[in-house]
Chains A and B, each alone.
Chain A
Amino acid sequence: MEQNYDFSRIGKQMPYTVPDGFFEKLEENVMNEVKAQSAKKKATIVRMAIRAALAIAACIALFLVVKEVLPLGHDTVTDDFENVELAFNNLSTEDQDYLLEVYQEELILENNLNDLNDLNNEESI
């Protein structure tokens, strides 16, 4: 390696210069931008937190409304049968017999209609 040139003569000197007060101005420019972006970041976080809180509140409100207006499926069916049974037990024996008779007649009528339909179908084939 050639070793004639001695770096210690020049050290860290450079031919480059900067305008007066350049570094102070550079720092202020950067700090102003940092402050602006920092404030923007904080505002975004607050906005997101408010949106999240509103979304949660809306979900809770919707859940409460649904619970009040539309009773849930399985319990409703159970409640309906229980109510019908209770109402039937409260009737007089005569009324209970009458309802059972009508129910049985309906069943017989439905069975007869089904048989008639089957017969018609066989004839058309």
Chain B
Amino acid sequence: MIDDNQIIPLIRENVEKGFRLLMAKYKEPVYWHIRRLVVSHDDAQDATQDTFLRIFRSFSQYSGEGSFKAWVFRIATNEALRLLGRSQGKAILSLDEIPQVTITMKADEYFDFSNAEAIHLQEAITTLPTKQQLAFNLRYYDDLSYKEIATVTNSTEATVKANYHFAKEKIIKYMNTKNL
């Protein structure tokens, strides 16, 4: 497992080597995080590339204090919200809105129809307001702490905990209706 404390000084010392290490650790988590928000593979690909280029351009702005993982996921989240906002004629999607994804889940070319339970779980997640989706996804899939999620969403730990709790309850309710 690559440690963030290896990545940060290496980027400062040799940007190409450091970035190679960053990509090795974060390319998949960042892509899947964005994909869960935007649903479409093509959109997720674009937003993931934009995320890493933005990390490259703004790396000097990372102070070294606070979680690097949270900083990376914050940039990834902003890129996803920017992309979703653009499709709705806005600069960026608000955290209080429910994302209107540009493509229905099953219309995407890169989709596995065989796993009904996984499909229902993603359906349940995509019906949540953005801040609840973020709290649930970042905790459930990416194992971020409440404090790190608060950094990503620019809120407090208490708010994140409440959003995670509401999200989980709504998902359970939805999954129970599916008689799985």
Contacts and interface: CB of A to CB of B under 8 A. Distances in A.
Contacts of A17: 110-112
A1 B113 CA distance: 30
B169 A38 contact: no
B53 A10 contact: no
Nearest to B117: A10
B23 A19 contact: no
Interface string A5-42: 10101101111111100110011011101110110000
Interface string B116-134: 0111011000000000000
B180 A16 contact: no
A27 B27 contact: yes
Contacts of B121: 10
Contacts of A14: 32, 36, 118, 122
Contact of A16 (B15, B112, B117): B112
B122 A23 contact: no
Per DSSP, are chain B's interface residues mostly helix, strand or loop, or mixed?
A: helix
B49 A29 contact: yes
A85 to B, nearest CB: 65
B19 interface: yes
Interface stretch (B82-90, B150-158, B171-179): B171-179
Contacts of A4: 172, 176
A23 B16 contact: no
Interface residues of A, number: 28
A15 B111 contact: yes
Interface residues of B, number: 43
A5 B175 CA distance: 6
Interface centre among B27, B57, B108, by most chain A C-beta atoms within 10 angstroms, is: B27
A29 B39 CA distance: 21
A10 B169 CA distance: 16
Interface centre among A2, A15, A18, by most chain B C-beta atoms within 10 angstroms, is: A15
11 contacts: A5-B176, A7-B140, A13-B115, A16-B39, A16-B111, A18-B31, A18-B110, A27-B24, A27-B27, A33-B53, A37-B57
Closest 7 CB pairs of A and B: A5-B175, A17-B110, A30-B52, A15-B118, A5-B172, A15-B119, A13-B118
Interface of A: 1-5, 7, 9-10, 12-19, 22-23, 26-27, 29-31, 33-35, 37-38
Given A2-B172, A10-B121, 5 more contacts: A13-B115, A13-B117, A19-B110, A31-B16, A33-B49
